[in-house]
Chains A and B, each alone.
Chain A
Amino acid sequence: MSEWLESAITRAQNLNDWLAPKRAHAIELLTQTKWPTRKTEAWRYTPLRPVERTKAGVVSGDANLSPESITGLEAIELVFVNGRFDATQSAKELPTGLLVSLGQDVDSAQQTVALNAFSTIKPERHLFGLVNDALAEDVILVSVAEGVEITQPIRISSLLSQGAESHTRVQVTLAKGARLTVIEDIQAQGDTLSTAFVEYDIAADAHLDHYRFALQTGTNVSIGGSHFNLHDKSKMHSSIVGFGSDLSRLDTDIIHAGEFADAKLNAIYLLDGKELFDLHATVEHAMPNGTTEENVRCIVADRARAVFNGRIHIHRDAQKTLASLNNRNLLMSDKAEINTKPELEIYADDVRCAHGATVAEIDKQALYYLQTRGVSRSKAQVMLNFGFINELIDLMPNAALAEWVRPIIRERFAQMEVK
């Protein structure tokens, strides 16, 4: 076990609140867990040295941070600052049918319900999920009542000041036929460490639009997960945009727990410098007639490293499943690296599953063509890279978000010149 984990466990043992039973369970599992090495499959390409060497710690007091605004987006803001819920910056008035509460403020009956729901969606194999179970203090519970459509998106921002450590947790429940958009966002200054987990339970006929932005770069350790549980005929559409950092790791788990559920996942990550980004996307088809479509695109420049693990698991009962995964990668430099592993594990026969993965560089002929038309090489590169990614941005259901993220990505491309 690493020193870091030992100290995390000691800290967790000193916390005492309504989350105690969950915490105790996590601590028990953590003490049995081996610290991952290169031989640990889930961390094969992602060394944990940045965690072992982190300077981040608990920062208390006023941090004076507030979330960046997104033009054209009127969101219901939920703000964490250095891991603690910031009520002053968070939305005070909520539309009918939407309930947002802090775990310690609800009555004990509700707390019991929340405790039972914890980690039913997030898998217990997730090491840092357990760390989050053990260390998260402020937990936000979000629920949408039956049949209610919340038109305003919810934005969960986690803000970290220099050297801060943060462990945030949100539980989102969509009742039957409900509809909601959630944006998960992190903004961190240097030398931070965060674990940010959100669990979604999507009841029958409900529909979730989900966004996760991990645009902080630099000396940050940013580990998190978005975990979805889909019931009968529910739908989810997730869009992920990530830049790398010292260590960025995101796990998405999608469980088809009901029939005829539909999941879409579009992920983009753009890496530069010495950054690392690791996306583990797991889809569990436990019930029949589900559909899943995943598109993952990645561009890696300079000395950056990208890791992708896309696993689709079709259980014995999940007949008539349609699942596909498409992973495309562009390498922009001699020192950049891509490690990708699209996995299929299939135990039902009447299914159609496919995955494809490609790794290549920018099409030299296309580059040449643009140059012959008077476009400079660097501009041409940005254009081609953008074309590669833009398709997925176009698929974002929320136009305001797509328009907000587009220039950010364009700027990123301008930095990511071929070296």
Chain B
Amino acid sequence: MTEQIDKALAREYEAGFVSDVESETFLPGLDEDVIRRISGMKNEPEWMLEWRLSAFREWLEMEEPEWAHVDYPKIDFQAISYYSAPKSMKDKPQSLDEVDPELLRTYEKLGIPLIEQQMLAGIAVDAVFDSVSVVTTFRDKLEEAGVIFCPISEAIKKHPDLVKKYIGSVVPKKDNYYAALNCAVFTDGSFVYIPKGTRCPMELSTYFRINEQNTGQFERTLIIADEGSHVSYLEGCTAPQRDENQLHAAVVELVALDDAEIKYSTVQNWYPGDEDGKGGIFNFVTKRGICHTNAKISWTQVETGSSVTWKYPSCILKGDNSVGEFYSVALTRGRQQADTGTKMIHLGKNTRSTIISKGISAGKSNNSYRGLVRMNPGAKGARNFTQCDSLLIGDLCGAHTFPYIESRNPSAIIEHEATTSKVSDEQMFLCRQRGLDPEKAVSMIVNGFCKEVFKELPMEFAVEAGKLLEISLEGSVG
């Protein structure tokens, strides 16, 4: 048994490698000049630069949040390089053939089916390699439907009115420390616009990938679903092995106008650090969506990576009858720390929200659910149901629940439930009696524990998530 465990524990991070693409990278450091250079590199209009600079000035006044149940060394923001672009971008590849083959090989190693498999899967990929979007496929098909799916840097130039109207409208510039930083230095990300009454013909997907050493990754995603439209967006990521901690502070803003629906799914598998938690990614993300009348936003996340996660995908249920959903599986092992959850802010009448959170802690990790359900005075007849379950594997880990419940409307109904338990001896006995080895048994039990969340994921993602969980749990059983 111990041998098995040792073997499994010694497992290397599968996506751990650094690919050799020549990159143009800024020297570490952050001041207004760096922001001007980022903006300049992107040929941004003046208003964008001003917006960045004002966010930067706000950020300088702000303090780093300390309330989360996580512990990490203080980040030196002057030691981070704020821009890194694959060099081959200078010539702007017109087709896949022109793309640096090294890049393509990187994706292949990661198992991202960029070319043929993409077509078979029917997914358009806006792949982000470090900070610049390299390849966008299926654009024609999307254009036909009137869907805009492009790097945000391109949208700033081509669709300034849309960007100007909605950027920072859901997550204000000074919303929090990391969001403000992102506003100042974001390099790229995705922009999606679904026109009125349109059902996006395919699932949109972005694979993030952190590559350059010491490069902070500041993605910015803006998705606008116009009235009566529908879109499903997938985000997944994995990163190569390295020694120094990397900061990732992304901002995702979703706007669901009347009767629109956005489904946002994430599988996150960034480098969690070595056995001592050294070298993993710091993932401080702000994700928020606003729902107008009858709109729906559904967040589904499977979090297995990063050394420190600080992430609360939220919904502002502004319009009457709008719906917010949050389905989450967060698995921590080794020395990982996750403080994640959601905020459901009920403003409109008859708004409904559902929160299902499954936390699995193993090794010496700490996993916290932190959530807020707020019923404002106008939230007549609103409804919330929250369920947070934690599973502990091993006696050196921690599972925590911090739900904030605030109600100011008597007709709103809130229900919150939380449980914590371990994989029971009875369950293990039953499985082993039927010939399953302990690892398979745990994996099966955990899969059952997470079923409610997995069923919300698009099919391809659900398979990937299940596999990811299985791999992540290897070596956790004892």
Contacts and interface: CB of A to CB of B under 8 A. Distances in A.
B416 interface: yes
Interface stretch (A51-59, A183-191, A337-345): A337-345
Given A341-B404, A341-B405, A346-B400, A357 B410 contact: no
Interface string B399-428: 111111111111111111111111000000
Contacts of A332: 410
Interface string A304-346: 0000000000001001000000000101111111111111111
A344 B416 contact: no
A357 B395 contact: no
A331 B410 contact: yes
Contact of B392 (A339, A346, A359): A346
B414 A359 contact: yes
Nearest to B404: A341
B228 interface: no
- Secondary structure dominating the interface of A: strand
Nearest to A330: B410
B397 interface: yes
A356 B416 CA distance: 5
Nearest to B367: A346
A339 B393 CA distance: 32
A345 B400 contact: yes
B394 interface: yes
Nearest to A313: B400
A334 to B, nearest CB: 6
Given A337-B407, A349-B392, A349-B393, A344 B414 contact: no
Q: Considering residues B375, B403, B420, which has the most beta carbons from chain A within 10 angstroms of its beta carbon?
A: B420
A329 B407 contact: yes
B195 interface: no
A346 B414 contact: no
Contacts of A343: 400-403
A349 B419 contact: no
Contacts of B422: 349-351
Nearest to A338: B407
Chain B interface residue number, banded? 35 or more
Given A350-B422, A353-B419, A354-B417, A359 B407 contact: yes
Interface in B81-103: none
A351 B392 CA distance: 9
B177 to A, nearest CB: 14
A334 B400 contact: no
Interface string A170-181: 000000000000
A358 interface: yes
A99 interface: no
A346 B390 contact: yes
B377 interface: yes
A339 B412 CA distance: 13
A342 B403 contact: yes
Contacts of B401: 342-345, 355
B72 interface: no
Nearest to B374: A339
Contact of B399 (A339, A344, A355, A356): A344
Nearest to A301: B410
B107 to A, nearest CB: 39
A347 interface: yes
B414 A358 contact: yes
B410 A333 contact: yes
A181 to B, nearest CB: 33
B174 to A, nearest CB: 15
Q: Considering residues B377, B394, B404, B415, which has the most beta carbons from chain A within 10 angstroms of its beta carbon?
A: B404
B398 interface: yes
Interface of A: 41, 316, 319, 329, 331-361
Q: What 9 A-B pairs come out closest when comparing CB atoms?
A: A331-B410, A349-B392, A361-B410, A359-B414, A344-B401, A357-B416, A359-B407, A353-B420, A354-B419
Given A340-B406, A341-B404, A360-B412, 4 more contacts: A337-B407, A343-B401, A343-B402, A357-B416
